[in-house]
């Protein structure tokens, strides 16, 4: 094992850096810029049973130290993901990937997982029960422990691969949701998804986003994400994947000390397509500065 190597739900990663779903397309698009096999893994674009155009525009807004998005799970649907997107990714990426799946009903989550389960390049399922930008699904499953548990049970029956439940920060106690999915067979949790926010167009005196609200991401949310990763890692025995405002190698170290086994990088990819590559390149130097021999050794270090 190398200095940067970690094990996530029994699968070894060369490093803990994973581009977050929704910020890296299906991965192969970034292969035009650099060798994406440098990445620990990829969480590809959220996939639903049927194609989705997403929300009406405008659906992106800038904020100080971050951005709002209300894209609304735009994707080509699971059948085209299997027939078109995954073969393109497989041609340029030779490691296991996370299949990020979403739905508007429990049977839809189960259907998407069942259809993708036969794809050999999928190492984990990242089950998104936390998207704040769709109505009638997404976050509604992730804010109620019973609903989160029900999705976990349904997905667990459809695959033997690790399932990682992606949790919403828009709750009173995120550890309650984490414990609920752990009890129903989740192999891990990832957090946080975006925080609900909005902007108002002063000239029109109306909400800037057509969806009215959107998900806040970027450096502004990092302290909130770090706090929730720390709390969740203490509350469950399964691995935690940390995300939310990560943009530097130092942020990765903080997330891991808080209890994250791996770390996803989201909005930073939209600012700089080389963000993940830069973080991976900088990690050894930051480790040397803080006298860290191996990343695996520091997981949860701030909890001890």
Active site residues: 131
- CB-CB contact of 132 with 139 (8 Å): yes
> How many alpha carbons lie under 13 Å from residue 217 in its C-beta half-sphere?
30
Spatial CA neighbour of 40 closest among 278, 264, 294, 249:
264
* First-residue to last-residue Cα distance in the chain: 24
Give dist(CA 57, CA 35) in Å, integer.
Answer: 33
Residue from 271, 241, 265, 272 nearest 251 by CA: 265
Tokens of 217: 């991401």
Q: Please work out, in degrees rounded to the nearest 5, the angle formed at the alpha carbon of residue 148 by the alpha carbons of 143 and 150.
A: 145
DSSP state of 282: H
From residue 149, alpha-carbon distances to 43, 46, 177 in Å are 22, 20, 8
The residue to which tokens 């700089």 are assigned: 272
């Amino acid at each position: 094992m190398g200095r940067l190597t970690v094990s996530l739900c029994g699968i070894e990663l060369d490093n803990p850096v994973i581009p977050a779903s929704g910020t890296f397309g299906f991965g192969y698009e970034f292969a035009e810029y650099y060798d994406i096999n440098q990445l620990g893994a990829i969480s590809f674009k959220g996939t639903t049973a049927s194609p989705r155009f997403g929300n009406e525009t405008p659906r992106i807004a800038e904020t100080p130290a971050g951005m709002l998005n209300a894209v609304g799970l735009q994707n080509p649907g699971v059948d085209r993901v299997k027939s078109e997107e995954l073969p393109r990714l497989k041609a340029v990426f030779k490691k296991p990937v996370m299949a990020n799946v979403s739905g508007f009903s429990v049977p839809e989550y189960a259907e998407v997982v069942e259809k993708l389960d036969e794809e050999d390049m999928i190492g984990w399922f990242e089950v998104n029960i936390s998207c704040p930008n769709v109505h009638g699904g997404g976050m509604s499953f992730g804010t109620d422990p019973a609903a989160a548990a029900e999705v976990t049970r349904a997905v667990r029956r459809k695959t033997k691969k690790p399932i990682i439940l992606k949790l919403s920060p828009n709750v009173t106690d995120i550890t309650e949701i984490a414990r609920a999915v752990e009890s129903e067979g989740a192999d891990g949790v990832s957090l946080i998804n975006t925080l609900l926010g909005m902007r108002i167009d002063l000239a029109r005196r109306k909400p800037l986003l057509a969806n009215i609200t959107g998900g806040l991401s970027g450096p502004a949310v990092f302290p909130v994400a770090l706090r929730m990763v720390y709390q969740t890692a203490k509350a469950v025995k399964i691995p935690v994947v940390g995300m939310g405002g990560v943009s530097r190698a130092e942020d990765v170290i903080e997330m891991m000390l808080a209890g994250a086994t791996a770390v996803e990088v989201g909005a930073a990819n939209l600012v700089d397509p080389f963000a993940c590559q830069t973080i991976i390149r900088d990690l050894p130097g930051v480790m040397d500065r803080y006298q860290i021999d191996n990343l695996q050794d520091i997981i949860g270090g701030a909890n001890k």
